Amino acid sequence: MKKTILFFAMMIAGLIHAQSTIELKGNVVDEYKKPVESATVFLSVLKDSTLIDYTITNSKGDFNLKLKKQARPVFFKVSMLGYTDYVKQFDDLNANFDLSEIQIKSVMTNLDELVIVADIPPIRIKKDTVEFNAASFKVRPDANVEELLKQLPGVEIDADKKITVNGKEVNQILVNGKPFFDEDGKIALQNLPAELINKIQISDTKTKKEEFTKKASSSNNASINLTIDEDKNKGFFGKVMGGYGSDKRYEGSLLANYFKGKQKISVLASSNNINASGFSMDEVFDNMGGGRGRSGSFGSSGSGGSGITQSNMVGLNYSDEFIKDLSTTGSYFYNSSDSENKNRSTRINLLPSGEFTTFSNGATNQNSESHNGNFSVEYKIDSTATLFVSPKLSKTFRTSKSISDQYDVDDRGSRLNESNSEAYNSSNSLNFSNQIRYSKNLKTKGQYFTVALSNQNTTNDGQNRNESATRFFNEPDQDDFRKQYSKTRSNSDNYSLELEYSQPIVDSLALEFNLGYDWTNNVQEERVFDFDDASQSYVQPNVDLTNYYTTQIKVLRPITAIRISKSKFNLSLAPGLAITQYDVNAVYKETDIDFSKKYILPAMSAYLNYRFTKSLSVWGSYQYSAQMVDARSVLDYEDVSNPLNTVIGNPDLNPNKSHSTFLSFRNYDFASRSGYSFYLGGSYFDNQVVTYSIYDENRKRTTTYRELSGAYSYMLGGNWNKSYTIDEHKIRYGIDMRYTFSNSRGFTDGTLYEAQATSISPRVYLSWDYGDLISIMPSYSYSSNTTDYKNYAVSSATNFTHRLNLQATTYWPENWVFGNDFGYTYNSNIASGFKRDFYLWNTSLSYAFFDKKFMAKVKVYDLLNQNISSTRTIDPTAIVDSENTVLKRYVMFSLTYKLDQFGGKQMKNERPNRGVRDGAPRMRVRSM
């Protein structure tokens, strides 16, 4: 009965709402009666210019604005860059209204000076950029930039904080055109207040060369540029947070920013032992991560990750323009971490002669300390030339201690071998890289010349102590016992020179001549010493394991590219050659081994970007590549460093050669605020180097390398999403789908096999915001993975997973925030002894006081104390189940202090109505 009453109540509410909704439609044309596409149509309150709703005209100039009846005076506007605004006032809107044809006129630019003052519309669509006016999108008080981005149509941010714009992944986020610590932008998204932002500009990601030469982007990624409100680009803001909880869990963070015009200085620091690599990234859940069960391997249960890590970090970011046309930006990070992990795994090895199983356990403790600095300078020499320099330097010191044991059993359960080991490793590495690019535009439009020089130099010194014992039950005379100390040293020097000249043939056609030269020199040395019982030290050289080898690769890359650039499409075809000299020299068992070969290989890359309309586009690419195989693979000697696997090189190997293609189709209709995209791609190997292993009766391997052709893979997928607003209700929903197939070929125990793997992964999601009071985001994903074998011990292997997540946050009563993140994961085919399903529930409750400068919070991670990390990985030769140490339930109390002061005034705690008519944002256009 209750359900029936609820059903009818919902129907009545829907009918009432339908009766209160009206339509405002029309057609926008220019003075020549031609339709105007992507003009912004919006309705605002006459009293204070508060935005009611907006839409965009389609390719025919039509629009249809659905909104609630308005009993107050409103004004209707049509705005388009380069055209005069159309404005109409309504005393009220109580019924459908057809404005029929609306004519807007082009702005005349033949006057000495023309000034246009107009309200800024919520959205503008230019040739290759979508620009949103931040003030037009309502967010909660104290919201960060991430919350602002979530309000924009076509923008999606998933549980892993990956941002997509209508299915196109965002790989660069800038602040006033500059990186904020890093180009991935995560620090900016989570810590810059939304109130600070003036505009959000979304475009295709461009390289420095493409930016300077004004060429169309060749990338299939998107870039977001956040522009700061000029009135607030001078001041100080930041926050400091500290927390302590049960099981001695703690976290603390500091972020301080000083902005003054083009000068920006930011300092951040953090310390915690809750597996957070940086400082707090979420106002509600901090570093708890959520109940989403994320992991890199498919078929996983649990929250993913390995071990428990204590980490510390300090960072500095600086950008400025010291003199005109000379801009600089740089950052420095210090990081340290201490991680502990225990792992157990079961590996079913699939062989034509029958399977055997490996059981292993291990415990590891790792420590690292690193310094990372980067700096970039861009100097505009004059209107035709620019110089860009970007050096980077990093230094890292790592140590690790590990204890492990494992044993193999046959299909009857009888032990074949067992081994245990203790190891201590340390390494000290230094890496320096630099990029110098000079670009010059010549007399003719589209004619330019660039020269680029880049280098990467790496040095790594290591020390290793290892004690191991390996026993073979069928052949005890093969038992292997080791107690060794080794020193390793490696140097890698890479230099690249690139010259490019572009010559336009006609306005839309150009030839590009590119000549590249790459020089690589790698040196690796390992000296191994056995333990001497008499002297109790490592003094006996081990000739069998000591080795030294150098690799030198020289590549000359002549390429001639054809580029066609039209208003709607861009096409590039770049055929060329890779003339390669490959030389390897090694000293092993006091014997010199040489390998030298010259290759003349084809190279080809192409891409197409076609825009049917300003919102609908297709992007495609093709690439043929040849990759040199690892030097150790082509050296004709036996590597016996692993007592369970002897490796022998094959000097007859040729490079890996492959074809890869990708095609994507995207469309987003800003009028209906819905969009879709789909993609497909694949690769095919002409030649692929694979391992060739033979197992003896003790399951000890002897491995070499062979060549195969015919392996291929492909994928296809897509997504659809829609958003709309009804009164205080803001709703978004969508669906993702991904299908992958791979046909791999290889050898196991000397037998050729084929494995065909199929994966299907659909996902549905929904978000609902009710004003500033509540936010609910449920999602569900399913993953099915099947591998079929030919000429193999088993015919197939399969598993599937379910993942359900519900995130709910309430912002009522005032100053209180209550967040819950609940996840459930089920894996159908985890091995015996590993848990198949689990729940992860994180919750937090916070209270803001003293004018919201302070925030007190209590949070509970893994409320049900069920967190696990179990994964199943299926590959063509094995099925592996693994479990690692994970962070378990803890309770933490924290206090956060915020300071926001711009233009000499304290920022208000709620986003002001920047649409007030007397102080509304205005656009000024000058024409000289």
Give the confidence band of 905 by pLDDT, cuts at 50, 70, 90. Answer: low
Alpha helices in 186-321, H assignment, sequence order = 186-191, 208-213
- pLDDT computed for residue 67 by the predictor: 80
Give the confidence band of 717 by pLDDT, cuts at 50, 70, 90. Answer: very high
- pLDDT computed for residue 903 by the predictor: 58
**Mean pLDDT of the 855-859 span:** 95
More confident residue, 918 or 514: 514
Query: Is the omega angle on the peptide bond into residue 391 within 30 degrees of 0, that is, cis?
Result: no
- pLDDT computed for residue 18 by the predictor: 45
- pLDDT of 484 > 70? The answer is yes
Backbone angles phi, psi at 130, to 5 degrees: -105, 125
CA distance 24 to 609: 35
- pLDDT of 467 > 80? The answer is yes
Q: What is the 3-state secondary structure (H, E, C) of 730-774?
A: EEEEEEEEEEEEEEEEEEECCEEEEEEEEEEEEEEEEEEEECCCE
Instruction: Please report where in the chains the tokens 């095919």 appear, as a residue.
Output: 684
Instruction: Please report where in the chains the tokens 């890869």 appear, as a residue.
Output: 660
Contacting residues for 832 by C-beta, under 8 A, at least 6 apart: none
Give the confidence band of 403 by pLDDT, cuts at 50, 70, 90. Answer: very high
* Lowest model confidence (mean pLDDT) among 182-191, 268-277, 489-498, 783-792: 182-191
Burial state string for 832-870 with b = 16 or more CB within 10 A and e = fewer than 16: eebebbbbbbbbbbbebeeeeeebebebbbbbeebbbbb
Give the confidence band of 920 by pLDDT, cuts at 50, 70, 90. Answer: very low
Selection from 43, 101, 99, 51 nearest residue 75 by Cα: 43
- pLDDT computed for residue 313 by the predictor: 92
Give the confidence band of 375 by pLDDT, cuts at 50, 70, 90. Answer: very high
Residues 530-569 pLDDT 10s: 998 888 899 899 988 888 889 999 999 999 999 998 878 8
More confident residue, 797 or 24: 24
* Lowest model confidence (mean pLDDT) among 149-153, 574-578, 709-713, 762-766: 149-153
- pLDDT of 573 > 90? The answer is yes
CA distance 128 to 202: 8
For the stretch 409-413, contacts whose Cβ atoms lie closer than 8 Å and that sit 24 or more positions apart, written own/partner, are 409/356, 409/357, 409/359, 410/354, 410/356, 411/354, 411/355, 411/356
Compute the mean pLDDT over every residue in the chain, rounded to the nearest whole number: 85
Q: How far is CA 58 from the centre of its chain?
A: 32
* Lowest model confidence (mean pLDDT) among 126-130, 381-385, 521-525, 585-589: 126-130
**Mean pLDDT of the 283-309 span:** 54
Q: What is Dmax (Cα atoms) for the chain?
A: 102
- H or E element that contains 7: helix 2-19
Residues 404-439 pLDDT 10s: 999 999 888 889 999 999 999 999 999 999 999 999
Give the confidence band of 119 by pLDDT, cuts at 50, 70, 90. Answer: low
Dihedral, CA atoms, 200, 204, 205, 210, nearest 10 degrees? Answer: -120
Instruction: Please report where in the chains the tokens 């409103």 appear, as a residue.
Output: 74
What is the percent of the chain with per-residue pLDDT over 70, rounded to a whole number? 89
- pLDDT of 611 > 80? The answer is yes
- pLDDT computed for residue 914 by the predictor: 39
Residues 126-177 pLDDT 10s: 777 888 888 888 887 678 888 888 888 888 887 677 888 877 889 888 888 8
* Lowest model confidence (mean pLDDT) among 690-694, 695-699, 822-826: 695-699
- pLDDT of 2 > 70? The answer is no
Residues 650-691 pLDDT 10s: 999 999 999 999 999 998 877 678 889 999 999 999 999 998
Q: Is 396 helix (H, G, I), strand (E, B) or coil?
A: strand
- Tell me the β-bridge partners of 141: none
Give the confidence band of 195 by pLDDT, cuts at 50, 70, 90. Answer: confident
- pLDDT computed for residue 265 by the predictor: 92
**Mean pLDDT of the 190-219 span:** 84
Q: Which of 354-363, 725-734, 746-755, 899-908 has the highest mean pLDDT?
A: 354-363
Selection from 299, 341, 317 nearest residue 238 by Cα: 317
- pLDDT of 451 > 70? The answer is yes
